[in-house]
């Protein structure tokens, strides 16, 4: 696996598009690792301090993810080095999407990512430049659909991604009008844990969980885990944390989900971040969901969780471990050797799978159909890992072997 990974990591991306904003200090990159299948896909993120290497590593991550979620296309990513809290954010995004529009029309499909909202930012801005949907490049480059088929696929994408959830099985609040894109990635992370215990064995309702982050992915994962009977005993976010050894009730988790300020945890009982980060790793949790930013989880934090009885890590964030390597650094390898680590390209592939599902012909557009399809794809990937090796450790190593054999 490591030999395959080295070859894959060292291969130069096929296309690198570099941009300097003439009206601000913003800079950005589109990295297309390959045009496998005639197209590439990957979201757009923005953060201060982002660099080209981060975008390259995420593009490679996306390509691995597509081996699970489909379609069989290349991986890509867009990244903008700019403070998302800056009031000029919208103008920067408008100039960015104008610059990359030829790629988006031809062979590159994008969406939301860290600090960029699919529904409220990506779609309206790209629409204003004449793009019917930000995944249009995948339809043109990969599917090469006839005009009537292309219109049908784009129509499914436009409706499905921003579909308001109406089924109480999948939304914590009908009145809030949560859409598929708000919930699907966190749902997939939760489902990866449910399928893990179904396949490898264990009663989910006896398990306790710690969640890192409380944005869309983390909060949705926490909500669906609680709905499945898991006791969420700790949440740590950049503003602080919450700890309750006996577990938060489903109603409490639902309120925490609905009461977020943007992607931020809000509670009258919040404890300071420093205190939370001292205590939370020592909780006796069987489940850990790192779903904040990339490259945050340190080895001593993993070791403290393992000492407390940790069984499974489901990677809600891309590359959550604080390794410098693109994929399988020493911290991730250490975690994978001690507990079950469900890699990001399986655990958080929900949104990528929704795009793939909605680009198929004449699919059912109900909440249940969209969500159960994503769940089934994640289950299939984990079953393939189990067939290759039924050990509870080395899951990520085995999953990478399966994926890389398709790419190299």
What span, in angstroms and rounded, lies between the C-alpha atoms of 387 and 404? 17
DSSP 187-250: HHHHHHHHHHHHHH---GGG-EEEEE--SHHHHHHHHHHHHTT-EEEEEEETTEEEE-TT---H
What span, in angstroms and rounded, lies between the C-alpha atoms of 270 and 240? 6
**Could you tell me the CA-to-CA distances from 164 to 46, 173, 174, 179, 359 in Å, in that order?**
26, 11, 9, 4, 19
Q: What are the two backbone dihedrals, phi and then psi, of residue 368, each rounded to the nearest 5 degrees?
A: -60, -45
Tell me, what's the pLDDT at 408?
85
pTM: 0.92
CA quadruple 278, 279, 280, 286: dihedral sign: positive
Region 291-313 average pLDDT: 96
Region 216-240 average pLDDT: 97
Prior bond of 69 cis (ω within 30°): no
Tell me, what's the pLDDT at 262?
84
- Scored b (16 or more CB within 10 A) or e, 251-269 reads ebbbebbeebeebebbbee
What angle do the packed helices 350-358 and 147-161 form, to 10 degrees? 140
Tell me, what's the pLDDT at 325?
86
Which of left, alpha, beta for 45 (phi over 0: left; psi -120 to 50: alpha)? Answer: beta
Asked if 212 and 289 count as a contact pair (C-beta separation under 8 A), the reply is yes
Asked if 13 and 31 count as a contact pair (C-beta separation under 8 A), the reply is yes
Whether residue 197 has pLDDT greater than 90: yes
Q: What are the two backbone dihedrals, phi and then psi, of residue 143, each rounded to the nearest 5 degrees?
A: -80, -25
Q: What are the two backbone dihedrals, phi and then psi, of residue 240, each rounded to the nearest 5 degrees?
A: 150, -160
Tell me, what's the pLDDT at 5?
85
- Confidence class of residue 174 from pLDDT cuts 50, 70 and 90? confident
Tell me, what's the pLDDT at 4?
86
Asked if 247 and 325 count as a contact pair (C-beta separation under 8 A), the reply is no
Tell me, what's the pLDDT at 28?
98
Whether residue 173 has pLDDT greater than 90: no
Q: Coil, strand, or helix at residue 56?
A: helix
Tell me, what's the pLDDT at 351?
93
DSSP 145-195: --HHHHHHHHHHHHHHHTPBP--TTT-S-TTTT-BHHHHHHHHHHHHHHHH
Percent of the chain with pLDDT over 70: 100
Region 52-72 average pLDDT: 94
- Confidence class of residue 263 from pLDDT cuts 50, 70 and 90? confident
Which of left, alpha, beta for 46 (phi over 0: left; psi -120 to 50: alpha)? Answer: beta
Whether residue 64 has pLDDT greater than 90: yes
DSSP 26-44: -EEEEEE---GGG-EE--E
Q: Which residues contact 396 (CB under 8 A, 6 or more apart)?
A: 328, 332, 336, 341, 342, 343
């Amino acid at each position: 696996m490591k030999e395959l990974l080295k070859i894959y990591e060292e291969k130069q991306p096929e296309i690198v598009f570099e941009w300097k904003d003439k009206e601000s200090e913003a800079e950005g990159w589109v990295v297309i690792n390959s045009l496998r299948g005639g197209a590439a896909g990957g979201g757009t993120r923005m953060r201060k301090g982002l660099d080209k290497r981060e975008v390259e590593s995420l593009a490679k991550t996306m390509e691995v993810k597509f081996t699970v979620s489909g379609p069989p296309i290349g991986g890509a990513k867009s990244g903008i080095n700019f403070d998302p809290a800056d009031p000029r954010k919208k103008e920067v995004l408008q100039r960015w999407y104008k610059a990359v529009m030829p790629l988006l029309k031809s062979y590159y499909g994008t969406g939301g990512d860290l600090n960029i909202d699919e529904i409220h930012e990506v779609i309206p801005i790209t629409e204003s430049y004449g793009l019917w949907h930000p995944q249009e490049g995948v339809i043109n480059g990969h599917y090469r659909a006839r005009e009537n088929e292309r219109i049908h696929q784009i129509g499914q994408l436009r409706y499905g991604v921003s579909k308001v959830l109406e089924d109480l099985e999948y939304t914590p609040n009908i009145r809030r009008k949560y859409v598929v894109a708000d919930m699907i990635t966190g749902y997939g992370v939760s489902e990866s844990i449910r399928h893990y215990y179904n396949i490898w064995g264990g009663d989910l309702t006896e398990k306790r969980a710690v969640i890192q982050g409380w944005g869309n992915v983390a909060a949705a994962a926490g909500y669906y885990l609680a709905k499945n009977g898991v006791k969420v005993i700790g949440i740590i976010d950049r503003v602080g944390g919450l700890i309750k050894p006996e577990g938060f009730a489903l109603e409490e988790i639902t309120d925490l989900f609905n009461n977020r300020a943007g992607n931020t945890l809000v509670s009258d009982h919040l404890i300071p971040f420093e205190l939370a980060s001292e205590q939370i790793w020592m909780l006796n949790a069987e489940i850990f969901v790192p779903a904040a930013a990339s490259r945050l989880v340190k080895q001593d934090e993993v070791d403290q969780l393992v000492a407390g009885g940790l069984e499974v890590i489901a990677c809600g964030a891309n590359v959550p471990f604080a390794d410098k390597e693109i994929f399988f650094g020493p911290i991730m390898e250490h975690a994978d050797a001690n507990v079950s680590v469900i890699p990001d390209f399986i655990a958080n592939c929900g949104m990528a799978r929704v795009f793939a599902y909605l680009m198929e012909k004449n699919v059912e557009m109900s909440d249940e159909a969209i969500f159960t399809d994503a769940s089934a794809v994640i289950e299939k990937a984990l079953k393939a890992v189990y067939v290759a090796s039924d050990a509870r450790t080395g899951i990520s190593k085995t999953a990478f072997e399966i994926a890389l054999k398709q790419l190299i």
